[in-house]
Structure 1
Amino acid sequence: MFRLVQMEDMQLNTLNDRTNAEAAPKGRQREQWSRKAEFILATAGGIIGLGNIWRFPYLCYKNGGGVFFIPYLLFFCTFGVPLFFLETSLGQYTRQGGIRCWRAICPLFEGVGYGSQLVLFYLAFYYVIILAWAFRYLFASFSSELPWASCLNSWNTGTENRFLPILIHCPHLTFLFVHFANKDTCSEYRPNHTLQEFENGTSSVVEYWERRILGLSSGIEHVGNVRWELALCLLLAWLLCVLCIWNGVKTTGKVVYFTATFPYVMLLVLLVRGLTLPGAKEGIKFYLYPDVSRLSDPMVWLDASSQILFSHGITLGILTTLSSYNKSTNNCYRDCIYLCLLNGSTSLVAGFAVFSVLGFMAKEHGVDISMVAESGPGLAFIAYPRAVALMPFPQLWAICFFSMIISLGIDSAFVNVEALITNIVDTYPSIFENKRRRKLLLLAIGVANFLGGLLMVTEGGLYVFQLFDYYSCNGMTLLFFAILESVCIGWIYGADRLYDNVKDMIGYRPWPLMKYCWKYLAPVICTCTLVFALVRYTPLKFNNTYEYPWWGSAIGGFLSLSTPVTVLLRMLYAVSVTPGNLRQRLKILCTPAKELLPASRNALNQEEDFQTFLHAG
């Protein structure tokens, strides 16, 4: 028995020596943020993005208005903030990115890092397409007349059957524009005018989006030609992303002073403008009016949990990477609280800005707000442009809105790419530690993503975009990673041990609720939500009408399963190459690197209990 224990200790020391050598390459000094504000702004820019503007407000009204805050706040406290703090403290303590930090903490779970980086790669690949759309709309906003406000364009339908507009004077209206049209005829949106939409007709805003911008085909089977105007906008977006992180955190830390603050200036401008519009009060009522009966619907709770994961950037390795550039004494606990509160507050304020404008548009058209409320790209490229066309000085408000969308998106995009680059450099330091090679890697990723992204700016590109958006970075994948992270830290590495690590960094132990969330609440809640999401899963449909062919669904299934399978394969590989029997292998793979071993007696006791459990097995 003594000889067996001696052999295990020798194997454990060998693995620790190898892990230590890999975790801290000689002669390589990790960069740091010049100021604490750079970390705060970079993290805020990375997690606060388009989802705060176009997803949270829609989910709020869809799921019972103010009642939605109950499950949202519950999940915010039980696994949103705790997992945010877990990843941030882990990166700062290990001073490694989203892959190597797991190798140092628990080699068995190194696959979590690889899987999360694959998700991040998918996200970086298709996220920039949104910026291309936004740039195209921004450039169009500088025209003398907004092109989506009129039906007198070459791309509009029914031009061959449309009479010229007739001007009619009415006692209570300034003007009434009527277009005599037949089936599939465009209808215009005009400020201070009523809207006459005929059955089977389409709006000028929708036609501009589908026919002018996208040239939308009938399905993913018909990819069609590249929309070269969008391709040039995509090139511009990738150029900006590459330039913003060209010199690593030194460049990123300076750029975020603008990219992370400018969206708030634009959001404030649009909020003030929205609140002063007629109908804004009704829009805000619709946004917040509580419907208590909705709490009995499980989908409300599923939407709340997925929004927490999406909006906080959890499980993607972004938080770990950004915090790895912090000074070891930085108060990451306080930073996490402030950043999470800022994120939630931004979502709430964005809801006021969006629904005040939607209330105005509903009043102008004399319809219910539910008829004009949209989510996702439908809000940014259909609903809001439609509302802007009804305002005085529409070009000004269109420029403000799309400038905000671009600054929000570009911030998240280059932070995603920076995290991806950092993790590749950390994993292969002997190859990419040279700054010149790092820049070549950045260029290669930018060029490859641009060339691959051309597929999404074709006439069938929107169908491909939705495949990636629905399958590659969905809530089920993020929930799976959240479960693994909480189990690894809460039960294998040890919640008390990480608390002692945090105390070494900031000088005190955080509120005990965090570690109980890691051990109990987060894994239980995420597991229940994941099971429910699997039960309620439905295949993707475009606009709830178009069904993807079998091979399209197969591609989606591959995107969805590729990340969890990566984690499991990496675990099996680690077990297979580690010497000893199964019990010895698990002991070795669940032991952290030497420099991470705790000094406190409580954490040592927890380690001894875990090793006793392994020996008893």
Structure 2
Amino acid sequence: MADIKEREKWSGNADFLFSCIGYAIGLGNVWRFPYLCYQYGGGAFLIPYYITLICGGIPLFFLEVALGQYTSIGGLGIWKICPIFKGVGYAAAIIAFWLNCYYIVVLAWSLYYVYNSILSSSLLPWSTCNNWWNTESCRTLIQMRNYSSVLSCTSADLTSNASIAACLQNTTDHLAQYTSPVKEYWERNALQITHSINEPGSLRIPLVITLGIAWIACYFCIWKGVKWTGKVVYFTSMFPYLLLFILLIRGITLEGAMDGIKYLFIPDLSKLKTSALWIEASTQIFFSYGLGLGALVALGSYNKYHKNCYRDTLILAAFNEGTCLISGFVIFSVIGFMAKTEGKKISEVADSGPGLAFVAYPAAVAQLPFSPFWSALFFIMLIFIGLDSQFVTLEGFITACVDEWPILRRRKELFIAVVCFISFLIGLPTVTQGGMYVFKILDYYSASGWCLLVLLFFECISVSWFYGANRFYEDIKNMIGYYPGRFWKWCWIAFTPFLCTSIAIFSLIEYEPVKYKSYSFPKWAEYIGWCIALSSILAIPIYAIALFARQTGSLSERWKKITTPTIDLNPPIDEDDNETKQRMLAEHTTAMTNL
């Protein structure tokens, strides 16, 4: 085993920080946070959001990074601190694998839109109704405005409330039979979507190509290890901010922009009584921060032993929340402009998830001067925001496997290529004509709220209850030189486990089968979704039972064996880590003096 390569460390102090920024700030910040904030009462949504952030998001982020830094091991090896919970590491790796397979399709869609934006000369292809993919029902914005004015209920004959209501209903029904060119482009050109998951259709070759390009980009972002990745993220994590600020400046100068921004933050305190608000706020925090996937553990494991991971955690939390707010301004300034120009309410033009990024925003951009430029800029920003989240999640999965089976380190580049290729093949169903339905199943079940919450509960109690919160605090103090505030320890012991448990229970009670718009999935598709969800979470009890069964001795002796740390509590010192050497020398001198 002498030829096995040594484990790498970050080459610069800022590599870790930029990698975490790139990882934690993803597509959820751009489309999901603004929509949820709008849907659940604006400012009212921020109340449970920040409660979850303070009591759950930041404590778990800090725990994962500190755990990786202290052990210098990936997401599977860290469970030497409490072997019975190694199933949590396997569950995290499985969720990360599923996430890698489908999340990247958003990059494929974005690449497709960038390509078609660049090819456009003056008009975007989704701004007109005279293309091969358009139907007879397609009507441009100008045509819809004309219909609205013709059908407006201003006749002198409308003397009663009943006649006015009938006229308004007739107008709505008349306009509802028409579709917008941007929606037809998304569904009939980009996706060429079928009517149900029972009709998978054929592969969309342009999307297969863009999916392949996205996977090749991911491979070359991490193929040379963390020293190379640390340099890549300087660009991939910061460049989107430049584009985001450009789009922000353009957005707030649009007519109606302030209406959209106000709407985003108008508080509706009555929403606080709904359990869905609390469930969505918590899952948004946990998913946005990339918790429970092993990636943060992997990133922390490449830190030098005495790096101040506590300070970095607080910096990253500030970055993440700032990005959410800026993204909200960008998206809803444009949504406000769109509502103003179309004469609609903001609630009628906003959409969720991919619909917000690939329907509402492109529709608004199509109305701007130099629309191809702004469209390309927006989707390039989406690509970079999604790319670093994708390849860092992939790095977390690779790190867990390589640390668990060190023989893979000798052929790490080949191993990464194999993982990328297999993930590409598994992701191909998402780029068929029925691919949106497959995407929805994977998105709803593989990294669904309750799965992630159960995993995070066990992750938290394994450290705070079994390994010991006080012991872990001593480990952190040994790394950074001081104790963080006691608040974080109490979060790990009580607040965070309670939060994860209660919200997981509520999410199961409030469970509704997956839907795509008004389409209800067949039972067999729902069963497949549950199998995907259970494929990760069942790893926790299965591994614990198997490990217990392999032990010898009495029940108490077996329990002690599987809950006693087996990790080396004296991590190796890097040759260039002078801070650690000086500290150990001082401690040794003090000990010798006290003899």
TM over 0.5: yes
User: Is 1:477 aligned with 2:451?
Assistant: yes
Counterpart selection for 1:367 from 344, 351, 357: 344
Name the structure 1 match of 2:523: 550
Name the structure 1 match of 2:266: 289
- 3-state DSSP of counterpart to 2:564: coil
Structure 1 segment 199-210 matched on structure 2, within 5 A: 199-210=176-187
| Compared CA separation, residues 403 and 156, structure 1 to 2 (3 A) | same
> In 2, are the aligned partners of 1:178 and 1:196 still within 8 Å (CA)?
no
The alpha carbon displacement at 1:300 in A equals 1.2
> In 2, are the aligned partners of 1:48 and 1:312 still within 8 Å (CA)?
yes
The alpha carbon displacement at 1:198 in A equals 2.6
Name the structure 1 match of 2:282: 305
User: Is 1:592 aligned with 2:565?
Assistant: yes
The whole-number CA distance in structure 2 between the counterparts of 1:61 and 1:167 is 27
| Compared CA separation, residues 27 and 509, structure 1 to 2 (3 A) | farther
> In 2, are the aligned partners of 1:105 and 1:591 still within 8 Å (CA)?
yes
The whole-number CA distance in structure 2 between the counterparts of 1:92 and 1:196 is 60
Structure 1 segment 38-117 matched on structure 2, within 5 A: 38-102=15-79, 104-117=80-93
One-letter amino acid matched to 1:385: P
| Compared CA separation, residues 483 and 396, structure 1 to 2 (3 A) | same
- 3-state DSSP of counterpart to 1:593: coil
| Compared CA separation, residues 167 and 83, structure 1 to 2 (3 A) | closer
Identity of aligned residues (%): 46
Counterpart selection for 2:502 from 503, 507, 528: 528
User: Is 1:575 aligned with 2:552?
Assistant: no
Name the structure 1 match of 2:107: 131
> In 1, are the aligned partners of 2:81 and 2:567 still within 8 Å (CA)?
no
Structure 2: unaligned runs, 5 residues or longer? 151-171, 572-595
- 3-state DSSP of counterpart to 1:432: helix
The alpha carbon displacement at 1:452 in A equals 2.0
- 3-state DSSP of counterpart to 1:327: coil
The alpha carbon displacement at 1:458 in A equals 0.7
| Compared CA separation, residues 478 and 176, structure 1 to 2 (3 A) | same
> In 2, are the aligned partners of 1:206 and 1:382 still within 8 Å (CA)?
yes
The whole-number CA distance in structure 2 between the counterparts of 1:551 and 1:406 is 33
Name the structure 2 match of 1:399: 376
- 3-state DSSP of counterpart to 1:215: coil
Name the structure 1 match of 2:461: 487
| Compared CA separation, residues 504 and 217, structure 1 to 2 (3 A) | same
Structure 1 segment 355-504 matched on structure 2, within 5 A: 355-429=332-406, 431-434=407-410, 437-504=411-478
| Compared CA separation, residues 134 and 546, structure 1 to 2 (3 A) | same
Name the structure 2 match of 1:122: 98
The whole-number CA distance in structure 1 between the counterparts of 2:131 and 2:303 is 54
The alpha carbon displacement at 1:294 in A equals 1.3
Name the structure 2 match of 1:152: 130
CA RMSD of aligned residues (A): 2.3
Name the structure 2 match of 1:237: 214
One-letter amino acid matched to 1:452: I
The whole-number CA distance in structure 1 between the counterparts of 2:533 and 2:198 is 21
Name the structure 1 match of 2:305: 328
One-letter amino acid matched to 2:129: C
The whole-number CA distance in structure 2 between the counterparts of 1:64 and 1:177 is 32
> In 2, are the aligned partners of 1:263 and 1:404 still within 8 Å (CA)?
yes
> In 2, are the aligned partners of 1:97 and 1:317 still within 8 Å (CA)?
yes
Name the structure 1 match of 2:225: 248
The whole-number CA distance in structure 1 between the counterparts of 2:87 and 2:135 is 52
- 3-state DSSP of counterpart to 2:60: helix
The whole-number CA distance in structure 2 between the counterparts of 1:197 and 1:57 is 31
- How many pairs are equivalent? 548
The alpha carbon displacement at 1:178 in A equals 10
The whole-number CA distance in structure 1 between the counterparts of 2:537 and 2:88 is 8
The whole-number CA distance in structure 2 between the counterparts of 1:547 and 1:304 is 25
Structure 1 segment 204-219 matched on structure 2, within 5 A: 204-219=181-196
Structure with higher RCO (Cα < 8 A, 6+ apart): 2
One-letter amino acid matched to 1:491: W
The superposition leaves residues 169-192 of structure 1 with CA deviations (integer Å, 9 ceiling, x where unpaired) of xxxx9x969999xxxxxxxxxxxx
The whole-number CA distance in structure 1 between the counterparts of 2:469 and 2:61 is 14
The whole-number CA distance in structure 1 between the counterparts of 2:392 and 2:87 is 22
The whole-number CA distance in structure 1 between the counterparts of 2:458 and 2:213 is 38
- 3-state DSSP of counterpart to 1:491: helix
The alpha carbon displacement at 1:453 in A equals 1.7
The whole-number CA distance in structure 1 between the counterparts of 2:478 and 2:558 is 30
TM-score, structure 2 as length reference = 0.89
> In 2, are the aligned partners of 1:105 and 1:596 still within 8 Å (CA)?
no
Name the structure 1 match of 2:326: 349
> In 2, are the aligned partners of 1:166 and 1:178 still within 8 Å (CA)?
no
> In 2, are the aligned partners of 1:260 and 1:407 still within 8 Å (CA)?
yes
The alpha carbon displacement at 1:596 in A equals 2.6
The superposition leaves residues 224-263 of structure 1 with CA deviations (integer Å, 9 ceiling, x where unpaired) of 1111011111111011000111101122111101100011
The alpha carbon displacement at 1:200 in A equals 1.2
Identify the range of structure 1 (57-66 vs 92-101) with the bigger mean alpha-carbon deviation.
Answer: 57-66
> In 2, are the aligned partners of 1:421 and 1:442 still within 8 Å (CA)?
yes
User: Is 1:516 aligned with 2:494?
Assistant: no
Identify the range of structure 1 (588-597 vs 515-524) with the bigger mean alpha-carbon deviation.
Answer: 588-597
The alpha carbon displacement at 1:151 in A equals 0.4
The superposition leaves residues 21-64 of structure 1 with CA deviations (integer Å, 9 ceiling, x where unpaired) of xxx99965220111121111111111110000000011111111
One-letter amino acid matched to 1:465: F
- 3-state DSSP of counterpart to 1:349: helix
The alpha carbon displacement at 1:597 in A equals 8.4
| Compared CA separation, residues 179 and 209, structure 1 to 2 (3 A) | farther
One-letter amino acid matched to 2:560: K
> In 2, are the aligned partners of 1:166 and 1:179 still within 8 Å (CA)?
no
The whole-number CA distance in structure 2 between the counterparts of 1:520 and 1:44 is 28
The whole-number CA distance in structure 2 between the counterparts of 1:332 and 1:364 is 48
The whole-number CA distance in structure 1 between the counterparts of 2:147 and 2:107 is 34
The whole-number CA distance in structure 1 between the counterparts of 2:409 and 2:2 is 10
The superposition leaves residues 467-507 of structure 1 with CA deviations (integer Å, 9 ceiling, x where unpaired) of 00000001101100111011111111000101100111110
One-letter amino acid matched to 2:89: G
The alpha carbon displacement at 1:541 in A equals 1.3
The whole-number CA distance in structure 2 between the counterparts of 1:286 and 1:487 is 40
User: Runs of at least 4 residues of structure 1 off by over 6 A?
Assistant: 24-27, 165-168, 177-180
The alpha carbon displacement at 1:66 in A equals 1.0
The alpha carbon displacement at 1:197 in A equals 7.8
Name the structure 2 match of 1:280: 257
> In 1, are the aligned partners of 2:4 and 2:409 still within 8 Å (CA)?
no
Name the structure 2 match of 1:184: none
The whole-number CA distance in structure 1 between the counterparts of 2:149 and 2:554 is 80
| Compared CA separation, residues 117 and 279, structure 1 to 2 (3 A) | same
The superposition leaves residues 37-95 of structure 1 with CA deviations (integer Å, 9 ceiling, x where unpaired) of 11111111111100000000111111111121111111111111111111000000000
